[in-house]
Structure 1
């Protein structure tokens, strides 16, 4: 086929339904533009019309996939935190690692995921906009459950096997993640500098939680269980 016919072919294809490859490229284009706009302008000042213009796509291209700006923002957040979930699902340090080593590994992964610049910027944006747009905070909370699912699964299995005492793995995963991230601290200060500081932070977090999560010795009564008896 002569290269002289290619421009006409592209024009003809652009007037019809895009190929799967073209559709994927268009989606990536406007999602990247949406992320940039949300981070630079904030949620309120961002519009789908401006996103479409910046991405070089028609507004209808975006509206075919997302009914409004809120739905588009949820997808931007979801994509940003998906890498964090993948990080949590990566193989653990060693198949024969003890609970302390596994938890150290998880705490460091959670900290690194939360302080990744793009994710951190989105988290800050949601917090800043939460009062005016509470639905954004709700969507972020749902994403947090999605990210922590692999941690919940590990804690539940460790509890079933008698290696840890975590009768409520969902709550324990949230508590562990809060300690791992450092709460408000990492929103207002620079991330920990380097692997040595991160490991020291993780050591402190894991030492703290293991005091409450270690199972009682065989034959111990309810009062000897972590949190049992007063």
Structure 2
């Protein structure tokens, strides 16, 4: 009996250290979500959409499959979230662009075009956009959501062009359309989806200058 009593006393501390069962804490939930979303992005990029499974993502992230299903009911829902997060990074970068009202218009546009180009050709985001284009036929709703994301990304540019038009510094009566056209020129269309991006800062700045030189004459203020 003494030995049994001693064993009970020494086991109690070990039992007390065991992780309590039940739902994870708020911090743990955030860490788990970040873990499987990161694994999902990598899996989609490495294997493509069709070859990626939630089971494999859970295994790569070291989480239970049910952990993912509690938040995303299907692979398409998870895919949408991965794309949304990636586009959110680009949106935040553009939202953070500081455009001062009294800055030289040409210098502002040069900076905007270069920022747009950098955002569109960041390697991981470019790879994901290529994947989205490939899956757009299968997921038409994804294309719509991406267009909405794009509209939000360029919102600061729309606001700037609208103000410049009101001030008489530019002639852009349709600011949103002009911003979309500028973004298309800045990104380079399909060129950078099927070939290598520009090589370094000098080429990038030369590209921005050529884009701005192209649009500024058409956007020049009209005589009263």
Root mean square deviation of aligned Cα: 2.1
Would you say the 8 A contact 2:99–2:160 is kept in 1? no
Q: Is 1:107 matched with 2:113?
A: yes
In structure 2, the residue matched to 1:226 is: none
The farther-off stretch of 158-167 and 179-188 is 158-167
Shift of 1:81: 1.9
Aligned pairs (5 A) from 1:90-169: 90-92=96-98, 96-169=102-175
Q: TM-score, normalization: structure 1?
A: 0.85
Q: Quick one: distance in 1 between partners of 2:64 and 2:77?
A: 18
In structure 2, the residue matched to 1:174 is: 180
2:159 aligned counterpart, secondary structure: helix
Would you say the 8 A contact 2:39–2:61 is kept in 1? yes
Q: Quick one: distance in 2 between partners of 1:212 and 1:7?
A: 76
Q: Quick one: distance in 2 between partners of 1:19 and 1:130?
A: 37
Shift of 1:59: 2.1
Q: Is 1:27 matched with 2:36?
A: no
Which protein shows a greater Rg?
2
Higher RCO (C-alpha under 8 Å, 6+ residues apart): 2
Note the residue ranges of structure 1 that are not aligned, 5 or more in a row: 220-230
Note the residue ranges of structure 2 that are not aligned, 5 or more in a row: 1-11
Q: Aligned pair in 2 of structure 1 residues 86, 5: CA closer, same or farther (>3 Å)?
A: farther
Q: Aligned pair in 2 of structure 1 residues 82, 141: CA closer, same or farther (>3 Å)?
A: same
